[in-house]
Structure 1
Amino acid sequence: MSDLRQVKLAMVPGTQCNHRLWERLIPYLDECVQPRHVAIEECQTQAHMLAAIDEALCESQHLLGFSMGGYLALQYALANPAKVSSLVLIASSARGLSDGEKQARKGMLDFLHTHTYGGMSRARVKEFICQQRWQDNELIDLIKDMDKSLGGATLLNQIQQTSSREDLSADLGKLPCRVLIIGAQQDQKVTVQDLQNMAKLLPNAQLQLLDECGHMVPLEQPQRLARILNQFYLGR
C-alpha cells in the first residue's frame, strides 16, 4: 500500500463507554489512520445508533466496533455490505448475549428502575479487566470515570436498547469485506471459542488473540492493539 493512503476509521464504543475508550490507543495508531468516535452513547434507540454509524461511514468505509459496539458494527455491515470495505471486531460476539449475561442485565434493569445508580464498583470493574491489572488504579479509575460521566440514565437506555441481540452467526458467510477479529485470552465476557467460530464462518477473516488482557482491550493493551491495526490497514 502507498504511504500516502489515508484510512478514515469509524470507531463504535461499547456499553457505558465514550471517546475516552480510545485515548490510550490513538497515540499509537499510524498517522495515516484517522479515527472518528461514533457517539452511540448519545443515541436514544438502537435505530439511532445504527444511523450514527451510517453517518460516520459517509466519510469512511472502514468500521471498527468494541464489545456491544462490535455487535452493532457487524449488524450494520451485514445490512449494508456495499458501504463497508473492512470491519474490525474487538471483544465482540456474533452470538449476542449469553443466558448468564441476559440474566445479569435483567437484574441490572430491575435495580436501575428502583434505585439511584451510584456507578461501577471496583469489584465490578475487575470483571472487565485481566487479573494482572487489578491493582492498576489509573486504569480502574478511567473505566469508573467513563461510567460516572455517562450515568445511570445512559446505562439504563443502552441496556434496554441493546439486550435483544439475535444470533448473527448464520449470516456471517454473506459478508464479503475483510474482517479482523481481536479478542483476549482472559476476557470474562466473550469466549475465545465464540471468536474462533466466527472466524471460521466469515469468508475473509483473521483472528488475533491477546494474552494478559481482559475485555477492555483498547485500554489494557493499546500499544499491541495499535500494532495489529496498523498492520491490518497499512501493511506495516
Structure 2
Amino acid sequence: MTIKIYCLPGTMCDQRLWQACITYLPENVELIHIAIPVENSIDKIVTALEQKLPVGKINLAGFSLGGYIASAFALKYPNKINKLLLISNMSYLLPPAQLKERIRTIAYVKLHGYSGITSKRITALLHPSKHNNQDIINCIRAMDIELGKDTLIHQLTVTTQRENLLVKLPTLAIPIQFLIGDNDSLVTLTRITTILTQSPLISLITLADTGHMLPLEQPEKCAGNMIRFFIE
C-alpha cells in the first residue's frame, strides 16, 4: 500500500524543496507537493487547500511558511488530518524585527523590482557547514527565480500578519511533530518545548548542524524522520 504525504513548501519554494528527500524514501512512500494557493488571506488559503486535497484523512507536512499554513489547516479541519509534521516552523507570530524587515522588503520590491534572493540571505538560512554547498545554493536560487516577484510580494503580504497558532496545537487530538534544525535562526526552540507537556501527542526532533533549509541540508535524515513518524 502506498503511503501518501502531502507537502506544503515555504516562502519562494516549489517541488524542488522535496526532491532530495524523495531519493531516500522507499517506493511505497509518495511525497505530493502542494503549492500554496494564491489567495488574499491565510484563512482563504486554508479553504482553497481543503478543496484541493482529497476526501478523508491525510498525512500533512509543512516546511517553514508551509508549516504555519499546515497548522492553520489542521486547526480548521482537524478531522482531515491523520498526522501533522511541521518542519522549520513553530507556528508563531513573526517577531517585531522580522515584521519590519518584511514591510521594508515589500515596499522596496514594489518600487524597485526584484533581482532575486541575495547571497547574504541564503547564507543566513543555512548552517555554516553548508555555506559553500553549491547544490543547495543553486536550488534555492532556482526556486526563487522561477517563482519571481509577484509570488514574493503575495506570500510576504498575505502571511505577515498572523496569529499565534502554537498555543492552540495542544487542543488537537492528532499526532504532531516539530522537526527543527539546531541552528535555525527563524525558530525559537524554547517556545516549542513549553507546549510539549501540554499534549502527549506533540513531539520535537532537532537535527544537529542544520539551519532553516532542513529538507535541502539534511534530506536523508528528513526522509528517515518522515518514515518513522508517518509509517512506523
- TM-score, structure 2 length as denominator? 0.93
How many pairs were matched up? 230
Secondary structure of the corresponding residue to residue 109 of structure 1? helix
Distance in 1, matches of 2:199 and 2:179, equals 14
Give 1:60 shift: 5.1
Q: Paired residue for 1:220? A: 217
1:132 paired with 2:129, answer yes
Match of 1:8 among 4, 8, 15: 4
Give 1:164 shift: 1.1
Q: Paired residue for 2:15? A: 19
Stretches of 4+ aligned residues off by more than 2 angstroms: 44-49, 57-60, 197-203
Conserved in 2, the CA contact under 8 Å of 1:10 and 1:62? Answer: yes
> Gaps (5+ residues) in structure 2?
none
1:108 paired with 2:105, answer yes
User: What is the CA RMSD across the aligned residues, in angstroms?
Assistant: 1.6
Give 1:59 shift: 6.3
Secondary structure of the corresponding residue to residue 10 of structure 1? strand
Distance in 2, matches of 1:26 and 1:201, equals 33
Distance in 1, matches of 2:99 and 2:180, equals 21
Conserved in 2, the CA contact under 8 Å of 1:11 and 1:64? Answer: yes
Distance in 2, matches of 1:222 and 1:198, equals 27
The amino acid of 1:98's aligned partner reads P
Q: Paired residue for 1:72? A: 69
- TM-score, structure 1 length as denominator? 0.92
Distance in 2, matches of 1:160 and 1:136, equals 30
Alignment of 1:1-236 (within 5 A): 4=1, 6-40=2-36, 43-45=38-40, 46-54=42-50, 55-58=52-55, 61-235=58-232
Identity across the alignment (%): 30
> Gaps (5+ residues) in structure 1?
none
Secondary structure of the corresponding residue to residue 24 of structure 1? helix
Give 1:114 shift: 0.7
